């Protein structure tokens, strides 16, 4: 593989690529926080099921939206998509692609 020096200089000095890097850093920080939020939501739902006999539908829907957010972040970070996820776009709501199982035991 032969690297053209002019192409390399152009690629390294491309402002759009560096802006994407800045977005990636911010989105990685938000993603890290969302992972902690996912863990807290899972513990909350477990305790609700343990003590109440059922999990909360609203919290399960939030979990589905959080999963959709994780998908959006992964697609952006791996260059599979150019659409910026939250906090540069609205947080996902009403996931049609993820089916929430019934809460019965």
Dihedral sign, CA of 81, 83, 88, 89? negative
Query: Per the domain annotation, does 80 fall within a domain?
Result: yes
- On whether residue 9 sits in a domain, the answer given is no
Using one digit for the tens of pLDDT, what is the confidence trace for 54-92?
A: 999 999 999 999 999 999 999 999 999 999 999 999 999
pLDDT above 90 for 51: yes
Tell me if 2 is assigned to some domain: no
Domain range for 59 is 15-100
Q: For all residues of the chain together, what is the average pLDDT?
A: 89
Enter the pTM of the model. Answer: 0.80
- In this prediction, residue 97 has a pLDDT band, given cuts at 50, 70 and 90, of low
Question: Does residue 105 have a pLDDT over 60?
Answer: no
- Quick check: is 105 in a domain? no
* Domain membership flag for residue 8: no
> Is residue 10 domain-resident?
no
* The total number of residues written for the chain in this structure: 105
Residue 37 resides in a domain: yes
Per-position b or e across 1-33, b if 16+ CB within 10 A of its CB: eeeeeeeeeeeeeeeeeeebeebbeebeeebee
Q: What was the pLDDT predicted at 99?
A: 53
% helix, strand, coil for the chain, step of 5: 65, 0, 35
Domain count, the chain: 1
Q: Which residues contact 66 (CB under 8 A, 6 or more apart)?
A: 34, 37, 38, 41
Question: Model confidence over 1-45: pLDDT tens digits?
Answer: 677 888 888 888 889 999 999 999 999 999 999 999 999 999 999
Is 95 part of any domain? yes
């Amino acid at each position: 593989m032969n690297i053209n020096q002019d192409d390399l200089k152009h690629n390294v000095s491309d402002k759009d690529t560096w802006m994407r890097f800045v977005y990636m850093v911010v989105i990685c920080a938000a993603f890290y926080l969302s992972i902690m939020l996912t863990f807290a939501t899972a513990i909350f739902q477990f305790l609700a099921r343990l003590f109440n006999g059922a999990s909360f539908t609203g919290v399960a829907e939030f979990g589905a939206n959080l999963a959709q957010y994780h998908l959006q972040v992964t697609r952006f970070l791996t260059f599979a998509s150019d659409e910026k996820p939250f906090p540069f776009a609205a947080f996902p709501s009403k996931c049609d692609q993820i089916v929430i199982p019934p809460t019965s035991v």
